[in-house]
Copies of this chain bind each other. A is one copy, B any other.
Amino acid sequence: MNSDSRYERGKLALAQIDGDAGQAVIDSLADIAPDLGRYVIEFGFGDIYSRPGLDLRSREVATIAALTAMGNARPQLKVHIKAGLNVGLSQHEIVETIMQMAVYAGFPAALNGISAAKEVFGETA
């Protein structure tokens, strides 16, 4: 498979999953590190999110959990909370996923994740 098709496939997946928020990330890189934007599309979305074997809802549960637990990537967490809604997770399921991180990464991580969700839910209400 050539690189063009990875890019095209990734671009479709990005639009489907992240919507406008994903494209905004790519656009913000255009004048400083455009290839990093290309890699997000090609590797992140063309390679990984396009894989069979795990449904998109589970993929977003995994990403929301990981970014909440890591606790150092709030902008990306917000993009993926939106993405979770886009692929069919309910607000309730997203809140449960974030709350569960209290067990594994501690309450501050969960509290800050909920704060991010509150911002996203407010914007998309």
- Residue count of chain A within 8 Å CB distance of chain B: 64
Residue among B35, B97, B98, B103 making CB contact with A99, cutoff 8 Å: B35
Q: Write out the residue numbers on chain B whose beta carbons fall within 8 Å of the beta carbon of A1.
A: 2-3
Q: Write out the residue numbers on chain B whose beta carbons fall within 8 Å of the beta carbon of A99.
A: 33, 35-36, 39, 48, 51
Inter-subunit contact B76/A111 (CB<8 Å): yes
Q: Write out the residue numbers on chain B whose beta carbons fall within 8 Å of the beta carbon of A25.
A: 111
Q: Write out the residue numbers on chain B whose beta carbons fall within 8 Å of the beta carbon of A103.
A: 43-44, 48, 63, 106-107
Residue among B48, B57, B58, B92 making CB contact with A102, cutoff 8 Å: B48
Query: Which residue among A28, A63, A75 has the maximum number of chain B CB atoms within 10 Å of its CB?
Result: A63
A115 close to chain B: CB less than 8 A: yes
Q: Write out the residue numbers on chain B whose beta carbons fall within 8 Å of the beta carbon of A2.
A: 1-3
